[in-house]
């Protein structure tokens, strides 16, 4: 059995305080991660490690520290990372329990560094806010008010404040002057909870928007707790050209640049960023903070699409290496500078690309990060699998390793769902399945199934095939699907259900979530490793 180096709580804490590169990774699934983890521990589930590693950990010799809570996942993850070429992999002494016993602070929920930073900003800057009741009264009275929703458009469509407009995070400073051209118009920024409301509103205040600005206190949670009605399925978005006329753009650009300079943001070029990315001594992340549509139309090679508001909201997901260098790009001089001003205040070394020209944006389409090649596994087509299922004597069982939400929404009839991290001799998930002569493994697109198939073969000793193209290919072939959770062989631990999701959440859960957010500043003080500041 391979043994790996061990790093202590004190060692990890010292690296964080010194701003040396370190990737502290919680390799459990998202739900257990959300129950308790260190502040800068990024969730990096073992179940999809191969799909994420080369994008989220671009430097092979970056110092990595893995932990679980006694499940044995960290050692398995260390073996996989070593096989992928990572050379500096260690285990956290004692895992999560060791961190706690050493006196380390632990946090609940997800994207905690960003959420804690939002509370830190509000505490220091006293970001103006209005209650849900006050905002509803303003809207009902026909006051001169515009409500801007700072979340992703898909989140906005799930539930939104009546009459609000979707203007995701980094777009606010670029678009608000055109959306509220009368300086007397009150601008209210909301999200589901608190963080993006606070950061969005404070962005507009920092950018010198002449309008009165306020965050909707507690977002759609506060709206719901006040007994007020939300809209669903809305499609109001900012008009892409809005805010880009010369006068508005100049004002927004000057304000954003001044903020970035005050926060200590540095400047670079596309060529220098490319040289940095090739270095073996530092981790460099390169992000294009424009909208997904703009990114997919044309972007600089090597830059990952990361809309600015989401980058600030999910720094731990996009850039899990603490102490890394981050480079941002836009084509307007507003979004990258505004995003960078916040990342710098989160104690991140950040640069903005200046003077890039359109001809340099030679890549297009969605981000396609490098991935390792899985071990060769025999495959079957959708039609071949349908024939096997129809032939009872084939005794074929389909195992689905996609996200549980995907499986419950639509899966191949009779398929069993398993979370891949529980494919081990220590778990009963696979043994709970009916006996089979062969297994066929699928996922949404056949990205993950080829990595799970050899593990299932080793555990069962049975022939294992991969469905070509995954369940998407099955659906494209016009074959039937079913929905529901009747055959979940694993608990649904792959995703933590946020208290503010959906429309029928218990009031107790939403109130508890808000209480948790209010307490984050005190937790930051106890932890002491954040290095946040506010300009």
Alpha carbon distance 508, 191 (integer Å)? 19
72-92 pLDDT, tens digit each? 999 999 999 999 999 999 999
Q: Write down the pLDDT at residue 314.
A: 97
> In the predicted model, is pLDDT for residue 503 greater than 90?
no
Helix or strand or coil: residue 325?
strand
> In the predicted model, is pLDDT for residue 510 greater than 70?
yes
Q: Read out DSSP for 176-241?
A: HHHHS-STTSEEEEE-SSSHHHHHHHHHHHHTT-SS-EEEETTHHHHHHHTTPPPB-S---B--TT
Residue tagged 């739900």 (tokens): 31
Q: Write down the pLDDT at residue 241.
A: 57
Average pLDDT over residues 469-498: 96
Average pLDDT over residues 267-273: 97
Beta strands in 319-409 (DSSP E): 325-329, 349-353, 379-380, 396-400
Alpha carbon distance 337, 334 (integer Å)? 5
Alpha carbon distance 284, 278 (integer Å)? 9
Considering the entire predicted model, what is its pTM?
A: 0.95
- Which among 493, 508, 530, 497 is positioned nearest to 115, based on CA atoms? 530
Alpha carbon distance 70, 94 (integer Å)? 8
Q: pLDDT tier at 501 (50, 70, 90 boundaries)?
A: low
Q: Show the CA angle centred on residue 179, arms to residues 174 and 181, nearest 5°.
A: 100
- Which among 479, 413, 404, 416 is positioned nearest to 444, based on CA atoms? 404
Paired tokens of 419? 């979370």
Q: pLDDT tier at 299 (50, 70, 90 boundaries)?
A: very high
231-265 pLDDT, tens digit each? 999 999 997 655 568 888 999 999 999 999 999 99
Alpha carbon distance 140, 152 (integer Å)? 26
Alpha carbon distance 147, 180 (integer Å)? 10
Alpha carbon distance 438, 388 (integer Å)? 10
Helix or strand or coil: residue 248?
helix
> In the predicted model, is pLDDT for residue 26 greater than 90?
yes
Paired tokens of 293? 């549509």
**Domains defined along the chain, listed by start:** 6-109 (3.40.250.10), 117-238 (3.40.250.10), 256-360 (3.40.250.10), 379-476 (3.40.250.10)
Run of H or E including 277: helix 270-278
Can you give 486-531 as a three-state secondary structure string?
CCECCCCCCCCCCCCCCCCCCHHHHHHHHHHHHCHHHHHHHHCCCC
Alpha carbon distance 356, 286 (integer Å)? 14
Q: How far, CA to CA in Å, does 27 sit from each of 70, 94, 98, 261, 516?
A: 11, 14, 16, 37, 24
Q: Give, as one character, the DSSP assignment of residue 410.
A: S
129-157 pLDDT, tens digit each? 999 999 999 999 999 999 999 999 999 99
Alpha carbon distance 276, 353 (integer Å)? 13
Contacts of residue 434, defined as CB under 8 A and 6 or more positions apart, other chains included, come to: 397
Mean pLDDT of the chain: 95
- Which among 429, 426, 425 is positioned nearest to 417, based on CA atoms? 429
> In the predicted model, is pLDDT for residue 494 greater than 70?
yes
């Amino acid at each position: 059995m391979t043994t790996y180096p061990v790093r202590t709580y004190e060692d990890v804490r010292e690296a964080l305080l010194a701003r040396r590169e370190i990737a502290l990774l919680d390799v459990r699934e998202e739900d257990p991660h959300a129950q308790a983890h260190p502040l800068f521990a990024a969730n990096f589930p073992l179940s999809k490690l191969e799909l994420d590693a080369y994008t989220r950990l671009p430097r092979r010799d970056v110092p990595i520290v893995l932990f679980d809570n006694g499940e044995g996942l960290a050692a398995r993850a260390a073996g996989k990372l070593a096989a992928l070429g990572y050379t500096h992999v260690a285990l956290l002494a004692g895992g999560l329990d060791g961190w706690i016993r050493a006196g380390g602070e632990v946090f609940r929920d997800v994207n905690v560094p960003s959420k804690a930073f939002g509370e830190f900003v509000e505490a220091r800057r006293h970001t103006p806010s209005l209650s849900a009741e006050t905002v509803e009264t303003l809207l009902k009275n026909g006051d001169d008010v515009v409500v801007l929703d700072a979340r992703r458009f898909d989140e906005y469509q799930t539930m939104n404040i009546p009459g609000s407009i979707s203007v995701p995070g980094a777009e606010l400073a670029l678009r608000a002057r055109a959306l509220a051209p009368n300086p007397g118009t009150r601008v209210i920024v909301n999200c589901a909870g608190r963080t993006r409301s606070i950061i969005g509103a404070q962005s507009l205040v920092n950018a010198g928007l002449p309008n009165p600005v306020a965050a909707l206190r507690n977002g759609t949670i506060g709206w719901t707790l006040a007994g007020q009605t939300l809209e669903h399925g809305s499609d109001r978005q900012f008009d892409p050209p809005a805010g880009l006329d010369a006068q508005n753009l100049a004002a927004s650009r000057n304000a954003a640049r001044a903020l970035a300079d005050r926060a200590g943001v540095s400047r670079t070029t596309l060529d220098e960023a490319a040289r940095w990315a090739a270095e073996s001594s530092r981790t460099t992340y390169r992000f294009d903070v424009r909208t997904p549509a703009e990114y997919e139309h044309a972007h600089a090679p090597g830059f990952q699409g990361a809309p600015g508001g989401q980058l600030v909201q999910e720094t731990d997901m996009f850039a899990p290496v603490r102490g890394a260098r981050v480079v941002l790009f836009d084509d307007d001089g507003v979004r990258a500078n505004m995003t960078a001003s916040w990342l710098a205040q989160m104690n991140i070394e950040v640069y903005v690309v200046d003077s890039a020209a359109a001809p340099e944006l030679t890549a297009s389409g969605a981000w396609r990060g490098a991935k390792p090649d899985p071990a060769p596994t025999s495959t079957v087509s959708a039609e071949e699998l349908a024939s096997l299922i129809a032939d009872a004597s084939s005794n074929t069982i389909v195992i689905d390793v996609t996200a549980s939400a995907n499986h419950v929404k639509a899966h191949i009839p009779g398929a069993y769902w398993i979370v891949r991290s529980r494919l081990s001799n220590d778990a009963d998930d696979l043994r709970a399945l009916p006996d089979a002569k062969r297994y066929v493994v699928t996922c949404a697109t056949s990205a993950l199934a080829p990595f799970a198939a050899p593990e299932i073969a080793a555990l069962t000793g049975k022939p294992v095939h991969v469905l070509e193209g995954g369940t998407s290919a099955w659906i494209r072939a016009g074959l039937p699907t079913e929905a529901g959770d009747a055959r979940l062989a694993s608990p649904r631990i792959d995703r933590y259900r946020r208290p503010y999701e959906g429309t029928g959440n218990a009031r107790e859960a939403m109130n508890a979530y808000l209480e948790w957010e209010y307490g984050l500043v005190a937790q930051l003080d106890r932890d002491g490793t954040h290095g946040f500041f506010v300009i």
